[in-house]
Structure 1
């Protein structure tokens, strides 16, 4: 369904006949869409109303531009405005990858609207790239090491062209196979097609590139997705200060290569591996350690790790994911 909200019209995926019950709002990650939640929505137990939103610039929602200087707030404000437009009296939020950061920002800004929060392989509360240590300190004040300049241009071009092939390691299909999941999953074409709904450009994915005199030579710009994830713009130092504090479930795959303490998408870690030359020894961003440190300060949370699992537990281990999520929604 299409839902008009103050700044854009948002597309919301629903399940036929499921219009009553406690609302569960699923938020997808980068280079994907609400379609990635299809099976998780259908598997929700009775008593819950499944909803999944296409974030701006993804799926069928309006391709409104992203002001990266607001961090992820363009997305989280959209989510809050959607909750208001639908007249929902609090929601269970479920956020995957970048969507986890969006959900955390929404929780930070409107805690009373959140009944519970589930994070699935979420981006660090200190953004993506450009930080060190569990406290997320900046490697450089300008966020060098983060932002749109780190995107692979061939992947961006293939995404824009709607490439469904597997003739390159950086085709969307092979990125799905090598990074989104550890093992093959059913309906691969369905998920790759959802990836290809991503709007490409400086206002969307990856954003406008900026340079830096420090290694690795890229810094956050001011527009688009990857810059919105930069630690200079997205940073949740004070999540522990919010009130009320709904319970948080943190689910992650043990073998995730996107969000990890040794991420294969972190330029600092790639420098340590020699893939990006010239590294002065900048340490990798400890993304998982940073999330744990923030949640430890927050309080009511539980961490569940799925073994033999990559970036997408809901696709790779659906039965176990659905069971753990249902227990969390019930307060078990």
Structure 2
């Protein structure tokens, strides 16, 4: 599953054993200013970063980390009442073990939430947020981030499709059902019609997801509110429930690293009308009994991110938005040249491997002077 010039190793940290990917030949003495750390999203692993790792300049040090319960990292349970802090604390432990004081952090989807939490707790050089979950979590909030219900009805572990979970357990690599990991990759991870020669590898990466108790998806509790369940206290999906997860405080960081926000207009997972949001599915009539916009409005995920980053910018931070038309949940796979150029720009890279800027639809939404 590894590309020829990518290596994997497990490092022992004080918290747990963590699997990392590195590039053969990268110099461990590379300074922090040229160190890039990649954090994957939900139901995936560091394997998804290999194309990007190969494509970045050779004088950078590039490391991809498997979060707990994914890839080759120890399948320790996740305490969801800490939000994503179990994950971000694991990343911190891994970097300290590697002797990396700070770095440029890149996070995808849930991984973007992890690096936002990391930035609240530790200094970073820059943040690249790819298809990030909302700073207010996944589901169950109004535009301003206020929670819809006290028990986060419709959020957390109960929102996972049981058949998809079973197919993860069975290591189903087929496209025989819309709930198979391969079908979900095609319908949710990338825009319709996108094809890649590495699809088998990405599916294998998805299948490294641990479904043990305390990992994916997590448990749920009964709710009197529609759709009948609320967020539990353990497991991956519950970490992003708004009662536990709120990283909107990044807008108030005293020291503000530059932020790059990359997203696609055809993202089925993170959008203002997400197909992973139970409230949106109810509004569309896919989930019965929806009580209406006043009670259960779809979460405006992209708008919430834009609002928080606008406050970040107003407070003196530099924010760059790269919006890619027709791109889905995985811009680094679907539009690698644009993603690469934007990343190198935000980390301030100048070197012999720098390429001319490709044509993009990047928009600087605000740039502090």
Runs (5+) with no aligned partner, structure 1: none
User: Which secondary structure does the structure 2 equivalent of 1:50 belong to?
Assistant: strand
**Secondary structure of 1:145's match?**
coil
Q: Match of 2:175?
A: 166
> Does residue 86 of structure 1 match 2:98?
yes
Q: 1:149 — aligned with what? A: 158
- Aligned CA distance change for structure 1 residues 103 and 144 (closer, same or farther; 3 Å): same
The more displaced of 191-200 and 238-247 is 238-247
**Is the CA contact 1:45–1:326 (under 8 Å) kept in the aligned structure 2?**
no
**What residue is the counterpart of 1:76 in the other structure?**
88
Q: What corresponds to 1:117 in structure 2? A: 127
Q: Distance in 2 between matches of 1:188 and 1:155?
A: 18
Q: Does 1:138 align with 2:147?
A: yes
Equivalent position to 2:272, from 236, 261, 270:
261
TM-score by length of 2: 0.87
Bigger Rg, which one: 2
What are the equivalent positions in structure 2 for 1:307-326 lying under 5 Å apart? Answer: 307-326=325-344
CA contact (8 A) 1:130 1:145 kept: yes
| Distance of 1:265 and 1:240 partners within structure 2 | 26
CA distance in structure 2 between the partners assigned to 1:89 and 1:236 by the alignment:
22
Separation (CA, whole Å) in 2 of partners of 1:215 and 1:73: 28
- Structure 2 Cα separation of the partners of residues 270 and 75 of structure 1: 29
SS of the aligned residue for 2:347 comes to helix
Of the three residues 219, 223, 228, the one matched with 1:217 is: 228
TM-score by structure 1 length?
A: 0.97
Number of the residue aligned with 1:62: 74
1:14 aligns with 2:22: yes
Q: CA deviation at 1:331?
A: 6.2
CA distance in 1, matches of 2:249, 2:126: 18
CA distance in 2, matches of 1:128, 1:89: 30
State the 1:19 CA deviation.
Answer: 2.1
1:104 aligns with 2:122: no
CA distance in 2, matches of 1:44, 1:331: 10
Separation (CA, whole Å) in 2 of partners of 1:89 and 1:81:
11
Runs of 4+ residues deviating >3 angstroms: none
